[in-house]
Amino acid sequence: MFKLISIKQSSKIGKKYDAKFFNKKTNKNKIISFGSKGYRDFTLINKKTSKYYINDNEEREKVKELYQKRHAKDLLTDASKTGMSAGALSYYVLWTEPTITKSIINYKKKFNL
């Protein structure tokens, strides 16, 4: 029903990214803003040029694991089960893979978008 069009830097104050979807049934776009600016995420703690970079791989994995445990409940909503929520986008795009590119590829596969 939905197709992911793009994930770009957000135009919304305080958010990192906007995910733009196209609803095939209604022929309308839907934008979901996600990720809070000013906070680290797994992609940033893996990026050497980021102020959030963590040199130790084990520590990075620990931070990721703690985030995923803390936010597992965010994935229980109907919207999250289809990937169409800010919580699901944050979890799968910002907190699963070390790069945004890799995360987006896996997110699209997971939710068949």
Q: Check residue 42 and give its pLDDT.
A: 98
Query: Residue 82: which of 105, 107, 106 has the closest Cα?
Result: 107
3-state secondary structure of 12: coil
Instruction: Give the pLDDT confidence of 27-74 residue by residue, as tens digits.
Output: 999 999 999 999 999 999 999 999 999 999 999 999 999 999 999 998
For the stretch 75-105, what's the b/e string if a residue is b when 16 or more beta carbons lie within 10 angstroms of its beta carbon? beeeebeebbbbbbbbbbbbbbbbebeebbe
Alpha helices in the chain (DSSP H): 42-46, 57-71, 78-81, 86-89, 100-110
Asked whether 53 and 32 are in contact (CB, 8 A), the reply is no
Q: Give the structural domain span for 23.
A: 2-110
pTM above 0.95? no
pLDDT at 2 over 90: no
Counting the structural domains of the chain, the total is 1
The pLDDT of residue 1 is above 90: no
User: Residue 113 above 90 pLDDT?
Assistant: no
SS3 39: coil
pLDDT tens, position by position, 3-12: 999 999 999 9
Instruction: Determine the Cα–Cα distance for residues 76 and 97; give it in Å rounded to an integer.
Output: 21
Per-residue pLDDT tens digits for 76-111 = 988 899 999 999 999 999 999 999 999 999 999 999
Helices (runs of H) and strands (runs of E) counted in the chain = 5, 3
Q: Which pair of tokens denotes residue 66? A: 């703690």
